[in-house]
Amino acid sequence: MATPTKPFPLRLAVPLALALLLALAFVADFLVSPTTTPAVATYSKTVTNISPGLQGVERRRKKGNNAKRVEILNATYADLPAPRWDWEEMPAAPVPRLDGASVQIGDLLYVAAGYESLDHVHSHVDVYNFTSNTWTERFDMPKEMSNSHLGMVSDGRYIYAVAGQFGPQCRPAVNCNFVLDTETREWGELPPLPVPRYAPATQIWQGRLHVMGGGKEDRHEPGLEHWSLAVKDGRALETEWRSEIPIPRGGPHRACVVANDKLFVIGGQEGDFMPKPGSPIFKCARRHEVVYGDVYMLDNGAKWRQLSPMPKPDSHIEFAWVVVNNSIIIVGGTTEKHPLTKKMILVGEVFLFDLETSKWSVIGRMPFRIKTVLAGYFNGWLYFTSGQRDRGPDNPTPKKVVAQLGDDTLAGLDGDLGVKQCQRAEGTVTLNND
């Protein structure tokens, strides 16, 4: 007899029974255009089959006028050996989503914000129920809340949403913070951060909401600052954020996890796309990025300890982690750029950090390389949804745009291009639309 509480059979006995893929059909990939257009122009790039199923990229480097050096590099050079996992495809998310945010509370995964395309961002939350395996609900975010690259964490009932980017393309970061009561679906505000922050590492630890690292207002310059705010039942117990010990390395797109009463900040990068100078739509322009696999742990609040790094540099993993059985599991991401083509290289491995031994291992493989997924874990199953996937098994670079809305959807945004900042006036928070 089929039981409704066990909606799918365990097909394999792999450790983490596998998975689901909520938005496969919709994976959007628009951030590629700024990635691929410039910079490669100085190279002549031909893709040649150098062995069955593998592709190499040949590049001629001109040194002055003389010697040409030819290098061959495997397009999949960055993949680590990993066991294959069989994944199961689940109902696609209602919308494509990149650089959104998610938190899991019980059997619900709240999936918020995100780009639908580079010119269109979401301002709502979709909810997935792991028991029924269906998308069950959709509700709005406050219209002043950032639409991508926000920090997000839950205490089990309240969801705290921190800073991020308001609006499409590469608009500057903001400092506004919000809180949702998931029982009443009511939103409130929290004191703004002292300064704007792009994709900050965010967690609740020992009764305080911690926000650290991330990018500065321009999205590019790494921030080292670390603040905390006492919170309880969806309310701030203080009017201002407290400065904490800065994190040794700054930058966005890191996993931030509390496990065994320790706060971990894992992976990330320095640098990111910036608004093109003078562009009225804050068009994204590529900048130098350094991806790293550093792991920092705050065990007493006064000192950061550096632990063994990830098996390879990994970024775009802010919501791509779960804690299972005394381990942190991280899925996908991006690693260092391809040394020859300079293209972004996506990550397809599933990494495990054993909290007992502080050691990393590669335990499995995603169905494809993918960055910025939103992950959850329920009842023995690892789930992920959304993100930006690769071009195929032999090509780890991000795929072209597959979901884009017409320009007419932008009309409402055109008159409102300014940066939205929360302004602090004598301890009170007001939202300023200019």
Residues that bind ligand NAG (CB under 6 A): 15-16, 50-51, 54, 74, 76-77, 79, 106-108, 129, 131-132, 324-325, 380
Nearer to ligand NAG, 130 or 227 (CB): 130
Q: What is the DSSP string of 288-336?
A: --EEEEEEEEESSSS-EEEEPPPSS--BS-TT-EEEETTEEEEEEEEES
Determine contact, residues 318/372, Cβ cutoff 8 Å.
yes
CB of 397 to ligand NAG, least distance (A): 15
Residue among 225, 238, 229 at smallest CA distance from 196: 225
Show the beta-strand stretches assigned E in 25-67. Answer: 45-51, 54-62
Nearest approach, Cβ of residue 77 and ligand NAG (Å): 5
Give least dist CB 132 to ligand NAG, A. 4
- Min dist. Cβ of residue 314 to ligand NAG (A): 16
Nearest to ligand NAG of 16, 32 (CB atom): 16
Q: Which is nearer to ligand NAG, 127 or 295 (CB)?
A: 127
Shortest distance, position 380 Cβ to ligand NAG, whole Å: 6
Place of tokens 């309240």: 158
Nearer to ligand NAG, 12 or 54 (CB): 54
Q: Tell the smallest beta-carbon distance from residue 383 to ligand NAG (Å).
A: 13
- Residue closer to ligand NAG by CB (options 248, 380) is 380
- Closer of 32 and 382 to ligand NAG (Cβ): 382
d(CA 342, CA 293): 19
**Nearest residue to the partner ligand NAG, using Cβ:** 74
C-beta separation of 130 from 8 below 8 A: no
**Angstrom distance (rounded) from CA 128 to CA 113:** 14
How do beta strands 421-425 and 428-432 pair? antiparallel
Classify strands 19-21 and 88-89 as parallel, antiparallel or unpaired.
Answer: parallel
